[in-house]
């Protein structure tokens, strides 16, 4: 038996509870159930206090490095970012800045974001997609944006959002032909 394919979710928020974490975990859970992935989800609080001072991966403590390693070793990534001033937060970018360009090359990445309202819904297209374009990763065609009113008690609670999440999860299939999934069982 081979080890299962790994899906890693990463939420670029320190908040607990967090709408971004809730969104990433929701997506990650459905995708993992559908494709049989082993699921892990982390946030910036898991990365911890050494991130701010780190100029390279070697400056991170063991906990932070473990999260970064999981992200770069994932077979599929679900990235979520809160929207800060129309973009991703600086600390989220700083975490991504520590990743070497070749570490995300050709990786399938589902990109998602949360924001207070709908005005910055295109931040997934104008901020997150080009960021992962730099890494030559495969961002999935459907990106997910959720605003405050898509959540109740930090749970995804919108049929339109759930439908869009379903479309994005369908798109993961292109990267994992049936025999690859079967081989990992
Ligand atoms: C510093 C800061 C800046 C923000 N800027 C925006 C913004 O430009 N557009 C927006 O829609 N929401 C903005 N928000 C709201 C957050 O994006 C929103 O509440 C998000 O869902 C929080 O995610 P979390 O619960 O995972 O931390 C901002 C929040 C903070 C704290």
Task: Kindly report whether the peptide bond that precedes residue 17 is cis, defined as omega within 30 degrees of 0.
Answer: yes
For 102-142, how does the pLDDT look when each residue is reduced to its tens digit (9 = 90+)?
999 999 999 999 999 999 999 999 999 999 999 999 999 99
15 lines ligand 1 (CB under 6 A): yes
Altogether, the residues listed in the chain come to a count of: 185
Question: How far, in Å, CA of 29 to CA of 7, rounded?
Answer: 9
Atom of ligand 1 lying closest to residue 22 CA? 26
Question: How far, in Å, CA of 177 to CA of 68, rounded?
Answer: 27
Region at 154 (left for phi over 0; alpha for psi -120 to 50; beta for the rest): left
- Secondary structure element (H or E) that encloses residue 10, with its range: strand 6-11
Kindly list the structural domains of the chain, giving each domain's residue range(s) and its CATH number in brackets, ordered by start: 7-175 (3.40.50.360)
For 9-43, how does the pLDDT look when each residue is reduced to its tens digit (9 = 90+)?
999 999 999 999 999 999 999 999 999 999 999 99
DSSP conformational letter for 173: G
What's the CA-to-centroid distance between 84 and ligand 1, angstroms? 5
Report how many helices (DSSP H) and strands (DSSP E) the chain contains, helices first: 8, 8
Instruction: Please say whether the dihedral angle defined by the alpha carbons of residues 46, 71, 103 and 139, taken in this order, is positive or negative.
Output: negative
For 85-113, how does the pLDDT look when each residue is reduced to its tens digit (9 = 90+)?
999 999 999 999 999 999 999 999 999 99
pLDDT at 3: 81
What's the CA-to-centroid distance between 87 and ligand 1, angstroms? 9
């Amino acid at each position: 038996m081979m080890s299962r394919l790994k899906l890693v979710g990463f939420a670029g928020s320190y908040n607990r509870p967090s709408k971004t974490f809730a969104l990433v975990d929701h997506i990650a859970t459905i995708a993992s159930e559908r494709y049989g992935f082993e699921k892990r989800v982390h946030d910036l609080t898991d990365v911890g206090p050494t991130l701010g001072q780190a100029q390279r991966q070697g400056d991170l403590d063991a906990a932070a490095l473990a999260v970064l390693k999981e992200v770069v070793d994932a077979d599929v990534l679900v990235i979520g970012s809160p929207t800060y001033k129309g973009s991703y937060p600086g600390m989220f970018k700083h975490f991504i800045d520590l990743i070497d360009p070749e570490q995300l090359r050709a990786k399938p990445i589902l990109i998602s974001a949360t924001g207070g309202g709908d005005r910055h819904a295109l931040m997934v297209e104008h901020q997150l997609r080009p960021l992962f374009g730099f890494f030559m990763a495969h961002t999935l065609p459907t990106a997910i944006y959720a605003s405050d009113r898509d959540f109740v008690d930090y749970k995804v609670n919108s049929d339109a959002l759930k439908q869009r999440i379903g479309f994005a999860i369908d798109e993961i299939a292109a990267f994992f032909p049936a025999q690859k999934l079967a081989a990992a069982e």
